[in-house]
Amino acid sequence: MKQPRERVETTSGIPVDLVSTPPAAPPALPRPGEFPFTRGIHPEMYRSRLWTMRQYSGFGTAAETNRRFRFLLDRGQTGLSCAFDLPTQMGFDADDAMAEGEVGKVGVSIGSIEDMRELLEGIPLENVTLSMTINATASVLLALVVAVAEERGVPAAKLGGTVQNDVLKEYVARGTYIYPPAASLRLATDIIEHCVKEMPKWNPISISGYHIREAGSTAAQEIGFTLANGCEYLTHCVKRGLDPEAVGRQVSFFFNAHNNFLEEVAKFRAARRIWAGLMRDRFHAKDPRSQTLRFHAQTAGSTLTAREPENNVTRVALQAMAAVLGGCQSLHTNSLDEALALPTEQSVRIALRTQQILGLETGVAAVADPLGGSWFVENLTAELEKRAREYLERIGKMGGAVAAIQSGYIQKEIERAAYDAQKAQDSGEAVVVGVNAYAEEGRAKIPTLRVDGKARERACRRLAALKKNRGAKEVARALSELRDAAAGNANLMKPILGAVRANATLGEICGAMKEEFGKYQPPK
């Protein structure tokens, strides 16, 4: 293994001196809760309230995922976060040929209002916030939650939670898109408009750097590309006639908590500072709540190793600490076995306990921005801000995030960074303990979760029964109204709500919109 050198670089290529010195003109440090919110968005940060502990869960059927939700809530989780399987993310019902082999595998299968009722059975929707990692089909999943809540007497205005709804990053980092970018942006804006007007407690978008980082970007790229996407969404909202003050209060972000501990802390601080300036100067938001960057963090799945998976507990704990010291509002900690399978109850309990130990035993929650004023952290924050702004400026000259995506610029930048990182790992320059350093023969045998292989069969039976017993005329009318609305300029949330209430399936609703919008084909 190579020994530490006198001069090294962070993952963003920022030189790291052996000893950090103060900048030539040290900037005045505002207090936490003051513009530009470098030190945190609340004056007391976690002293008054800990971050939301939100473990990401979902697999198999709605009933199985509901049991995992209850398991975590009983053990102190303070917010729900739902993962959906690939068919649900891509707009296919479980009985579609395209869903074969994928139903319930990487998330829960949701195809109708009946599934959503079962998923949320016994969950106090008026008290527990629900985050849904869903993008291309976000409008349908949000409509299903609203419809089920209203059946229980909980009005949409009282619901709290988040729908990811960040379709732009799907084209560069994740791939669960359905429609072309213009149609996807329209749907994303429809959701934001609907929530601003009808659901004041709901975050209608979580602009995601997490997946950009998982695809291989540097920390500076994660900030720059994420905030460029954020500007694109805000611009579309303003063109729609929405008040950026109102939109800004409900926009949230989602970032990765990666391995380079101090760079990650600085990354979160730099992102807050840039976004506050963008909201004030570009979108003319004056309300401090509209200027603040509120974010969820998740520890880095790409850093988990199948070899010596017990080492992942340490990796996750340190990544989570970086997110906390960087001022996150909510946090998911990955489980030790996630390089092998979806987490077991035992491993997810350890992941949740990691957050609880950080919050309740370490003392870090008593101090807002405890690393603020560190010469190294302040210098690194400033350098990450500079490099991220350079990406923003470059993308702005191209015409914005959509133009940068369509030209392939963002994809190529991520691919280049991913290649460099993999090359460093392969050469041993970037050490992965237990993999390319101190590696032992063989693989640890640990219990892993096995998803029920009959999930698709059960989902198909439920769909068949639903279609047999529902009112066919009502479904046809609701889908026809949705097609007509898609052909015009109306907000699509109302007809989508009508369709889910009429018992139309997710696949039928997405199919109706696909008839009008078409399907996105990436350039070859």
Report pLDDT for 21: 84
**Location of structure tokens 């149609």:** 183
Report pLDDT for 442: 74
Q: Among the CATH numbers 3.90.76.10, 3.20.20.240, 3.40.50.920, 3.40.630.30, which is that of 43-427? A: 3.20.20.240
Query: Taking the alpha carbons of 489, 491, 493, 494 in that order, is the dihedral positive or negative?
Result: negative
Residue 157 per-residue DSSP state: G
Report pLDDT for 3: 55
Pairing mode, if any, of strands 161-163 and 202-203?
parallel
Transcribe 267-301 into DSSP letters: HHHHHHHHHHHHHHHTS---SHHHH---EEEEE-G
CB 379 within 8 A of CB 20: yes
**Location of structure tokens 């603040």:** 292
d(CA 519, CA 508): 15
Q: How far apart are the first and last CA of the chain?
A: 41
Alpha helices in 124-253 (DSSP H): 138-151, 181-198, 210-214, 219-240, 244-250
User: In this structure, how many other beta carbons lie within 10 angstroms of the beta carbon of residue 360?
Assistant: 11
d(CA 230, CA 288): 17
Report pLDDT for 288: 97
Report pLDDT for 318: 98
pTM: 0.96
Q: Which residues of the chain are in CATH 3.20.20.240 domains?
A: 43-427
* pLDDT lower than 50: segments of the chain: 1
Q: At what angle do helices 219-240 and 261-281 cross, to 10 degrees?
A: 20
